[in-house]
Amino acid sequence: MALHFLVDELGVLVDDRGDLLADATVVLTGAEARHAVTVRRVRVGEPMTVGDGRGTLADGECESASPAEVVVRVHAVRVVDAATPRLVLVQALAKGDRDELAIQAATELGVDVVLPWASSRSVSRWDGPKVAKGLARWATIVREASKQAHRARVPEVGPLVTTGDLAALAATTQMLLLEPTADLALTALTLRGDAGAADAALEGRDLVLVVGPEGGFSPEELARLADAGATAVRMGDTVLRTSTAGPAALAVVNALLGRW
């Protein structure tokens, strides 16, 4: 399988008709070049795929390689459309690296947006400068996970949200609360893509999965989000870790949507 790398811009490889320009190349520099040569051990002639993280992929082979610069000779450029509905993971802040493990796995499993949530029971707190630092850390994690998974689109990392923000979001999305005590099983839902939504009112709406922290949702959070239109669902008879619940739900949702 071709090695996968990210650059900021690939549109210059095609003309106005979308045809590949003659002699098209992509040059990796900086951290991407160093990683390619020193970590991935890329060699001349090896197949490579370079993406811009926004859906455009360039397939080619390594023409030259050094820690300062890697040149990729491009053979073809393709565009991968965004999936519908978008899959959004709202991950409560958690102690240690459990929230980071969750968004890393979620990226590999096809999430489109991740939102950090300051839930009432979150042990970890982002305050002041910690907000920008935490968002930057999450952006790095999803970028690296996207490369590992050969994703055409890097998930968006949204702002830190409150329970009030989630209540407002529930009114315009299909929001599912991953709650072990819920009566409704996740697999009992009928989920379809945009044109075939089970409920016409839900067509085109993002599918939002909300994961609580180590202590779970508070009763007040469950009630407020349910009143706003969210649906509580369970996954099996066991209680999953906050680092496991979101990725597990994404796997089920991918199957229900027919993507797997």
From the list 259, 260, 250, the residue with the least C-alpha distance to 104 is: 250
> Which token pair is 127?
């305050």
* Domain co-membership, 122 together with 149: yes
Residues 6+ away with beta carbon under 8 Å from 38: 67
3-class SS at 87? Answer: strand
Q: What is the pTM of this model?
A: 0.87
The C-alpha atoms of residue 59 and residue 234 are separated, in whole angstroms, by: 41
Considering its fold, how many domains does the chain have in total?
Answer: 2
Q: How many CB atoms lie within 10 A of CB 22?
A: 6
Which residue is it, tokens 């529930």? 170
Identify which of 70-79, 91-100, 193-202 has the greatest average pLDDT: 91-100
Answer with the one of 20, 53, 79 that is the final residue of a domain: 79
Distance CA 66, CA 83 (A): 36
59: helix, coil or strand? strand
pLDDT above 50: residue 201: no
Q: How far apart, in whole angstroms, are the C-alpha atoms of residue 103 and residue 140?
A: 11
Task: Check pLDDT > 50 for residue 197.
Answer: no
CATH at residue 119? 3.40.1280.10
The average confidence (pLDDT) of the chain is: 90
69, 27 in Cβ contact below 8 A?
yes
24 pLDDT band, cuts 50/70/90, is: confident
- pLDDT score recorded for residue 9: 64
Both tokens of 150, joined, read: 């050969």
Q: Which residue would you say has higher pLDDT here, 6 or 181?
A: 181
94 plus 219 within the same structural domain: yes
**Is the pLDDT confidence value at 234 over 90?**
yes
Q: 209 Cβ partners below 8 Å, 6+ apart? A: 87, 88, 89, 90, 176, 178, 246, 249, 250, 253
The predicted structure's pLDDT at residue 190: 82
Does residue 192 have a pLDDT over 80?
no
Residue 11 has pLDDT above 70, yes or no: no
Q: What is the CATH number of the domain that holds 53?
A: 2.40.240.20
Q: Which domain, by its residues, includes 54?
A: 3-79
Our CA dihedral for 56, 141, 232, 223, rounded to 10 degrees, sits at -120
Closest by Cα among 235, 256, 232 to 245: 235
Pair 70, 33: CB distance under 8 Å:
yes
Q: Are residues 26 and 150 in the same domain?
A: no
Q: Give the up-direction half-sphere exposure of residue 145: CA atoms within 13 A in the CB hemisphere.
A: 22
- What does DSSP say about strands 25-29 and 56-65: parallel, antiparallel, or unpaired? unpaired
Query: Which of 79, 104, 119 marks a domain boundary?
Result: 79
What's the CA angle centered on 120, arms 189 and 88, to 5 degrees?
35
